[in-house]
A and B are shown apart, each in its own frame.
Chain A
């Protein structure tokens, strides 16, 4: 079992190293993040430096989350689409092992990317003489946990749909999107637009908000940490809660993906 996981991980890492599509995807996101972070490098005072660091980390967090999801999407869909899984499943390697390895490889890549960003942020803090606060570690760990959830969700979507459909679906159908939509319908209802259509829409948005995976399940509770980079003693527990949520989501997505993979009429 361990040998099989290791063999699949090695193959997946070779895929990440050599996939030109993934490389292009990464370069585009890094370029966009660099461009959006560029103004932050031109501040002088300590406060401006802290704000710049916050902005850079915030931009990189979004980039890392998208990259992590992209890695999972590419590794699953490319193997499914070029049918190379025939070569795996006609050996004593079960779909469950292959899928777990693919998921794990994407998580390892996400961990490495987050570590690089953490070290870069610490380096920038020293360079700009901004004190390194525990909030930085908290934020990047929280973002990594959220990325694991994104990886799980995209693993599921890539197992059942074309990668373009999966990516579009993930961008539209997530809890954050429907939380905003639900707030909008709530506002409309409170301001007197209480027609049947609006009430149905409100219920539908509420249901979708509850049913779809959340990117940051405890975003409200950790909001202040993202602003100040200060972590109170009681805030660390939210990382454990977020990890618990990500694990449950991952288990659900893994089992559903496995079911979909085994139900495929033709591998």
Chain B
């Protein structure tokens, strides 16, 4: 669906036109039907990579192909593409209904007023049709962006930090809408800082650090199980044993990591002290754990 090969983007800034490398030869491979997440710290190059895929920015060198074509502003390629930018890059002077109709009509296909009404109703925007976008919350604006995707059933959707600034209820609604679009067969490319959200939605992840892709794989490969470490939760009464790491106490429950070779000692310790053991399982690494490990590794090599 999208192939990026050795893409470099350089900016020049300041009086001396100093060079700044936004992307340092990234390679990306987004397959048909993927829910692909770009993850990275601020300034890692996520948005730049997305702008290059969208044709909004031209790479200094390297090649990007989307659905077999080089993305160019306003080209026919976009008949199957929808893009939700970060706030506030919408036409804020238009009302919800006008903006939905405008964005829908830019696809050059006829859209009936009924379809627009139905889509707005479905997204819970029916009663806000005449409200200018400048007065809408971020969630409502994002729903206007989602509407274009539902109206034209686009094959490829780009999302730039879609849930930033949304309340938990809207995040859940938004997530459901994205799942629906993905299940319909659309490919989704999203960049986000919210790693827990990516764990819930994405099936493939690329981690970017200082303009480079440091890892790119299926989400499963980032959610590893550590065979040498156990996660335990037990009754908090006194201190944790000295070999326990990452100790956290919440109310009457203590959580800690125990090395595999100390598990027997730990069992003896809880039994001897009469403590209740609530949980004991092999430690699972989250996307966040893998992310920090990779970032740390990258910093160490530099």
Contacts and interface: CB of A to CB of B under 8 A. Distances in A.
Contacts of B11: 265
A92 B74 contact: yes
Nearest to A20: B93
A45 to B, nearest CB: 49
Nearest to B145: A87
Nearest to B152: A91
A241 interface: no
B91 A87 contact: yes
A11 B105 CA distance: 11
B56 interface: yes
Contacts of A167: none
B242 interface: no
A265 B103 contact: no
A189 B83 CA distance: 62
B81 A90 contact: yes
A83 interface: yes
Interface stretch (A93-101, A146-154, A202-210): A93-101
A7 B55 CA distance: 22
Contacts of B74: 88-89, 91-98
Given A86-B83, A87-B83, A15 B103 contact: no
A88 B110 CA distance: 17
Interface in A124-143: none
Nearest to B160: A86
Interface string B83-113: 1010011111110001000110111101000
A11 B108 contact: no
Nearest to A263: B58
Given A265-B11, A265-B57, A266-B57, A92 B93 contact: no
Interface string A1-44: 00110110011001100110000000000000000000000000
A88 to B, nearest CB: 6
Contact of A10 (B51, B75, B92, B102): B102
Contact residues on B (Cβ < 8 Å of other chain), bracket: 35 or more
A91 B132 contact: no
Interface residues of A, number: 30
Contacts of A95: 73-74
Contacts of A6: 105
Given A18-B132, A95-B74, A87 B93 contact: no
Given A90-B83, A92-B107, A266-B57, A14 B98 contact: yes
Interface in B25-80: 51, 54-58, 73-79
B89 A84 contact: yes
A267 interface: yes
Contact of A94 (B75, B88, B92, B102): B75
Contact of B85 (A87, A92, A98, A266): A87
Contacts of A97: 74
Contacts of A262: 73
Contacts of B73: 89-90, 94-95, 262, 267
A95 B76 CA distance: 13
Nearest to B91: A84
Nearest to B84: A87
A237 B91 CA distance: 43
18 contacts: A3-B105, A15-B93, A18-B132, A83-B85, A84-B91, A87-B91, A88-B74, A89-B55, A89-B56, A90-B73, A90-B82, A91-B106, A92-B77, A92-B108, A93-B74, A93-B106, A94-B74, A97-B74
Given A3-B108, A7-B106, A87-B85, 11 more contacts: A3-B105, A11-B94, A84-B89, A84-B91, A84-B92, A87-B90, A87-B103, A92-B106, A92-B108, A267-B57, A267-B73
